[in-house]
Structure 1
């Protein structure tokens, strides 16, 4: 039995508060991006408020399934990042509650959101898509609002070009108006010029009422003779002229039945039926094309009885077309080549047309299949993005709108690039359309599982210090010592004992340098067939660190400064790379990689020789400093 505890309520409440905000933010961002794509269809059309409200409403409905995954990702990152930053997650784990148990209420909620997203895409989304596309087509067909600019020709009124030199914004009067009327054809153009004019829209919004004052009209008259070079015209002067221009500025909703072939306005059942119909149609068209080609282009010649008898008498095994062509006259050759060229051109055009029709049907089938699977992948993305965001938040332990927003945007951009790119390749036929549609899910699902596993194990996968230490080890980069005087010293160093240890370390270093030829090239076979450790160097390093820790309690600044010269010894880098002998053998067999490792080991051997000499020299300086300051005699 599922029991709801206070912890579940606390986690779910924290997530829901952030999810509500992130969802509307993401939806707003996607709507602005969608609006930017179709801003040209909205601006300058004089659309009414109810039309714009419908546009934003339906566009918002269609973008809800895309906004949910990003909102879940961002909310999960912020929620569990806040838990980690405020040490609430640490307290829960300290109480013996595993991470998956903490995530359980939100997982169930995200699963519910995924189911609702699937229902929304399958039932509500197709209707909203149809209404949205109908609105967009209607907006494109609507005539723009009449706003004639100054100093340029205005041609948005069908059949008219209008030029206005100056406009009076207060009275609406147009100054120095020039009108080209091509409604009766270019050859019968009417040209009107007026000192002033005014343009009004009739009450039914079907016509423009044009008032002109103090002007002239020029009109070409039809010529009586075709060969006449002089075209008569008529000139008319007027003080006041009024005319109606047909201009439908109303918004008329088009019939959306022409959109029925689109796959994004269908649910999964309708898409499956459409795919079956398209496949049957494609098969029938393909068979028809095949039969047509067989009966025309590749049709076998039918010989008459006389032709067959003649071929048998001539004993012709095959027909030599070159000899037939060479036996023709020049005129016959030209006729034959002309007929052949026309025939080939006709066949090429016919094949191109049939190929285009076949590709269109194949593209339509692939698009329908992609949209069918897209309804499932977008629903699963709600869960996948949660299993990416929640573990990342627990690992990073950063809440707020800083780091979570950056990471969420980067992850979603990667998801969008993979999804759109693979889907586009699948629709083009270069990849299986099912694989292309599921590619983003196949890539991000293992990533979510990996992050969840690492977070559940308290991994340091995003700890920068861990990666820095790894690269320092690979490239041999060492940290420098920084010895500082302690504010409170409880135990002063035993200088007499420390001097003896330092002398012993120096002796061991000299013996090691004498017995090991560190400057020479190491034995390649011995390096990659042995897994022994260098206990001598490990012991020297241990003794040196012990003395340094002891002498760090001194009050002598000079002594502390001298100890900064001690190197940090790497006790394994100059020996075999792995503790497992067979791994060493395998690496040695792979010559390119083994050779690089071998040269790197030689580099570490040279550095070890230098470090041992530095240790000997530093030991001498410390012993001399202790004797000079008489620390030895004070004990």
Structure 2
């Protein structure tokens, strides 16, 4: 029996509220991007609100699958970031609940979201794409709203150029009007100039009614003799003139059948049928073209030859003949005939090959578009689940909620996904990559990343802890860490000042004995360095004993003693020995000379540092002993 626990309800409620908000935000951003791309098709055309409403509705439906992955990523990051920031994630793990168990209700929910995304792409998406692109084509074909500007030529009316110097927007009157009518051609243009006028739209929105007052009309008359230098013209002066201009400003919806062959207007079943039919068509046309070319272009015409001559020509080898001498033996007219025939034949064959190549390539392009659309329905749906396995563990690692760091991280990850996915799509669409390889590249890259982050977050790894990387970098470069000891507010056990001087002296004796035994100032032997024992147990014992004494003396109430304790160095006990624990790996490192030289000089530098550290320990021990004796005397 399915049992939903309170923890699952809490996690789902926390995630779903954020998911709903982030989804509408992402959808709005994508819609603004889409609107900005086609804003020129809508501005200035006087489209009705119902047309604009359909445009926004269908564009929103087509952008739902693209918005879901980003919404899942952002919601998962914020949700688990809030859990980490409020220590709720820590409480869950302290109760023995693993990250996989915490994510289980979200995995079920996002699997359902993947199915919704697939349904939108396979069922709703093709219909919405058909409606949207039909609407866009109809909007492109609609004439713009008539709004003649002042001081510039207006050419949105086909065959006319209008210039208005001044316009009264309250009365609609136009002043100093200049009209160029090019309906009969540029050489037979009509030019009308009037003091004022008015331009109105007819009731059926199919024509413009033009009223002009106090002006002149100039028109060239069509010349019957093309060589005639003087072209007659006609000039007319009028007090009032009226004209009808064709101008269809009504919105006419295009036929949806124009989108029937497009890949984005088909579901997976129709895409697969189209892929199969185009594959068979390309194969059959390719074989037919091959047979046709081999039968006609490269065959020898034998209609005017005897049987013996035909056999000779078919068995002849061009290498046996001196073509240049044969050509030179011909007359000038025969040479011209041969060259023209060769040129005509080459042009004919080239044109034939170009047509056949275009026919095959156009079908192949349509085939790749259908195949990319088929794969995209699966990859875009699966991206929702992959982004959950990226966002949830990443939010648990970052432990920052709200709209700050999660938004930045999610945008960066989505940009990387978009670049990889768009690159693979274009490579597959253009035929440079195999289609399935290009379309599944983003999934192949991000799925291992999601698995890696989930594993690291489940094990409470410091994969995104900046301090860990800073400490690693300091260790590689050799930057020394410094002690920072402060006076404790509560001290339970005071240091044993009676035994400390003897212990410190014993530590100093160990350091002197080590310095006498190991000549640290001398450069190490390159060959022995890679084959000797890796660990230096004596330095480890000295470092451990020093840390024990420092920890004991850190309980002191003396501020001066604490200041002296900060002079004790932090010894990197392995830096002056071989870099790796494996013998053969060290040997290979020594053989590869550039790498071996780098580690060799690094080890030599740390040996010199170790020499100075041991001397510093001896000096600091003496200072501590003197300070303890001084405090005893007081």
Single out whichever of 333-342 and 411-420 deviates more from structure 2.
333-342
The alpha carbon displacement at 1:565 in A equals 3.0
Cα distance in 1, alignment partners of residues 555 and 97 from structure 2: 44
The alpha carbon displacement at 1:44 in A equals 1.0
Aligned to 2:242: 242
The alpha carbon displacement at 1:310 in A equals 8.2
Asked whether 1:226 is paired with 2:226, we answer: yes
Post-superposition Cα deviations, 1:608-630, rounded to whole Å, max 9, x if no partner, equal 12222333333344444555xx2
Post-superposition Cα deviations, 1:130-173, rounded to whole Å, max 9, x if no partner, equal 01010010011111111111111111100000111122222222
Asked whether 1:164 is paired with 2:176, we answer: no
Cα distance in 2, alignment partners of residues 2 and 31 from structure 1: 40
Aligned to 1:183: 183
Single out whichever of 564-573 and 260-269 deviates more from structure 2.
564-573
Compared CA separation, residues 470 and 311, structure 1 to 2 (3 A) = closer
Compared CA separation, residues 98 and 270, structure 1 to 2 (3 A) = same
Cα distance in 2, alignment partners of residues 311 and 149 from structure 1: 77
The alpha carbon displacement at 1:437 in A equals 0.8
Aligned to 1:82: 82
Q: Does structure 2 retain, via aligned residues, the 8 Å contact 1:26–1:67?
A: yes
2:381 corresponds, among 379, 382, 404, to 379
Single out whichever of 390-399 and 264-273 deviates more from structure 2.
390-399
Aligned to 1:464: 466
Normalised to the residue count of structure 1, the TM-score between the two structures is 0.94
Cα distance in 1, alignment partners of residues 626 and 388 from structure 2: 64
- The DSSP-based 3-state class of the residue aligned with 2:177 is strand
Asked whether 1:330 is paired with 2:332, we answer: yes
Post-superposition Cα deviations, 1:365-409, rounded to whole Å, max 9, x if no partner, equal 111111111111111112111111111112222111111111111
Compared CA separation, residues 561 and 90, structure 1 to 2 (3 A) = closer
Cα distance in 2, alignment partners of residues 38 and 217 from structure 1: 40
- The DSSP-based 3-state class of the residue aligned with 1:218 is strand
Compared CA separation, residues 405 and 165, structure 1 to 2 (3 A) = same
Compared CA separation, residues 315 and 564, structure 1 to 2 (3 A) = closer
Cα distance in 2, alignment partners of residues 468 and 309 from structure 1: 86
- The DSSP-based 3-state class of the residue aligned with 1:565 is coil
The alpha carbon displacement at 1:333 in A equals 2.7
Cα distance in 2, alignment partners of residues 155 and 611 from structure 1: 86
The alpha carbon displacement at 1:241 in A equals 1.4
Aligned to 1:304: 306
Asked whether 1:106 is paired with 2:106, we answer: yes
* Length, aligned pairs only: 631
CA-atom RMSD in angstroms:
2.3
2:599 corresponds, among 597, 600, 607, to 597
1:107-122 to structure 2, matched below 5 A, reads: 107-122=107-122
1:356-435 to structure 2, matched below 5 A, reads: 356-435=358-437
Compared CA separation, residues 454 and 316, structure 1 to 2 (3 A) = closer
1:170-569 to structure 2, matched below 5 A, reads: 170-302=170-302, 303-305=305-307, 307=309, 318-487=320-489, 493-495=495-497, 497-554=499-556, 557-569=559-571
Aligned to 1:147: 147
Single out whichever of 548-557 and 527-536 deviates more from structure 2.
548-557
The alpha carbon displacement at 1:317 in A equals 8.2
Unaligned runs of 5+ in 2: none
Compared CA separation, residues 448 and 38, structure 1 to 2 (3 A) = same
Single out whichever of 220-229 and 552-561 deviates more from structure 2.
552-561
Aligned to 1:631: 631
Post-superposition Cα deviations, 1:417-466, rounded to whole Å, max 9, x if no partner, equal 11110111111111110111111111111111122222222222222222
Cα distance in 2, alignment partners of residues 589 and 535 from structure 1: 26
Compared CA separation, residues 86 and 188, structure 1 to 2 (3 A) = same
Cα distance in 2, alignment partners of residues 169 and 565 from structure 1: 86
The alpha carbon displacement at 1:252 in A equals 0.3
Compared CA separation, residues 311 and 216, structure 1 to 2 (3 A) = closer
Q: Does structure 2 retain, via aligned residues, the 8 Å contact 1:180–1:191?
A: yes
- The DSSP-based 3-state class of the residue aligned with 2:320 is coil
Compared CA separation, residues 105 and 308, structure 1 to 2 (3 A) = closer
Compared CA separation, residues 91 and 494, structure 1 to 2 (3 A) = closer
The alpha carbon displacement at 1:348 in A equals 2.5
- The DSSP-based 3-state class of the residue aligned with 2:180 is strand
The alpha carbon displacement at 1:320 in A equals 2.7
Aligned to 1:615: 617
- The DSSP-based 3-state class of the residue aligned with 1:177 is strand
- The DSSP-based 3-state class of the residue aligned with 2:186 is coil
Cα distance in 2, alignment partners of residues 77 and 506 from structure 1: 54
Cα distance in 2, alignment partners of residues 448 and 177 from structure 1: 68
The alpha carbon displacement at 1:550 in A equals 3.7
Cα distance in 1, alignment partners of residues 204 and 317 from structure 2: 87
Single out whichever of 393-402 and 580-589 deviates more from structure 2.
580-589
Q: Does structure 2 retain, via aligned residues, the 8 Å contact 1:531–1:579?
A: no
Cα distance in 2, alignment partners of residues 589 and 317 from structure 1: 60
The alpha carbon displacement at 1:128 in A equals 0.5
Single out whichever of 259-268 and 448-457 deviates more from structure 2.
448-457
The alpha carbon displacement at 1:488 in A equals 5.1
Q: Does structure 2 retain, via aligned residues, the 8 Å contact 1:531–1:580?
A: no
- The DSSP-based 3-state class of the residue aligned with 2:208 is strand
Compared CA separation, residues 586 and 383, structure 1 to 2 (3 A) = same
- The DSSP-based 3-state class of the residue aligned with 2:212 is strand
Single out whichever of 464-473 and 550-559 deviates more from structure 2.
550-559
Single out whichever of 566-575 and 48-57 deviates more from structure 2.
566-575
Cα distance in 1, alignment partners of residues 372 and 529 from structure 2: 56
Cα distance in 1, alignment partners of residues 498 and 94 from structure 2: 48
Compared CA separation, residues 111 and 315, structure 1 to 2 (3 A) = closer
The alpha carbon displacement at 1:305 in A equals 3.2
Normalised to the residue count of structure 2, the TM-score between the two structures is 0.94
